[in-house]
Amino acid sequence: MPELYFAAFVFDLDGVITDTVAIHSAAWKQMFDAFLQAYAKRKQLPYKEFSHARDYLSYVDGKPRYQGVASFLKSRGIELPFGDPSDPPHMETICGLGNRKNHIFNRMIANGNVIVFQSTIDFIHQLKDQGIRVGVASSSKNCKAVLEAAGILDLFETRVDGLVSAELGLRGKPEPDIFTTACDNLHVHYREAIIVEDAVSGVQAGKKGGFGMVLGIAREGNAAKLKAHGADLVISDMREIDIETINQWFSS
């Protein structure tokens, strides 16, 4: 292997390492549909269900949980008090709805619904064999639980997730805070790091952070959108790229 021009990879979790996007989307839909039905009945308005393509991808995907709730509600013209992170799931606050979604999601993964993208896991092993640093950065407060359920927690040298973000006061995507913090933890310069993301908000964060490369994974037929918002390269799966190709991109 020739000299490497990069030092680290920082991977997003959902949709990149684990096939949990469908679980997240289903949990959001279950929570929001129940809320929207009750809200429509109370306000005597027509009910419009929560959609994966229209709502999850546009307003929720990649964002911290409460930010996702607020973003979607704003899209429907619904105003709720923010509340407090300690709000119980039955409360109609932004935090309460977010906690209700989290309860549903945790119940789903407890039933063994975590599937990994094996091509990503294989690629991570190749990186580690070459001495390349590897971290995971996710908006999810369930990141550790998901990695543990999948049996891959020990693959990552650092984990910057929703819990860490809350503790350190990090801003959510599209701000780059979770990725810059992961690089700081790995002791690598941002220009020597590659960010791997499948969400628009994630590639926007990568572009803002000035990283060496932002690699987009288009699993939702959204390659053009990822490219337009900051991805340097876009693939549909990690099997489509290798370390040598990335190194050549850097050297050029």
Tell me, yes or no, if 12 is annotated catalytic. Answer: yes
Q: Are 64 and 139 in contact (CB under 8 A)?
A: yes
Helix (DSSP H) and strand (DSSP E) numbers for the chain = 10, 6
Tell me, yes or no, if 237 is annotated catalytic. Answer: no
- Give the whole-angstrom CA distance, residue 188 versus residue 200: 24
CB within 8 Å of 54: residues ≥ 6 apart: none
Name which of 60, 11, 18 is nearest 179 in CA terms.
11
Per DSSP, the three-state class of 215 is strand
**Cα–Cα distances in angstroms (integers) from residue 248 to residues 93, 185, 241, 242, in the given order:** 50, 26, 12, 10
Q: Are 8 and 183 in contact (CB under 8 A)?
A: yes
Catalytic positions, written as ranges: 12, 14
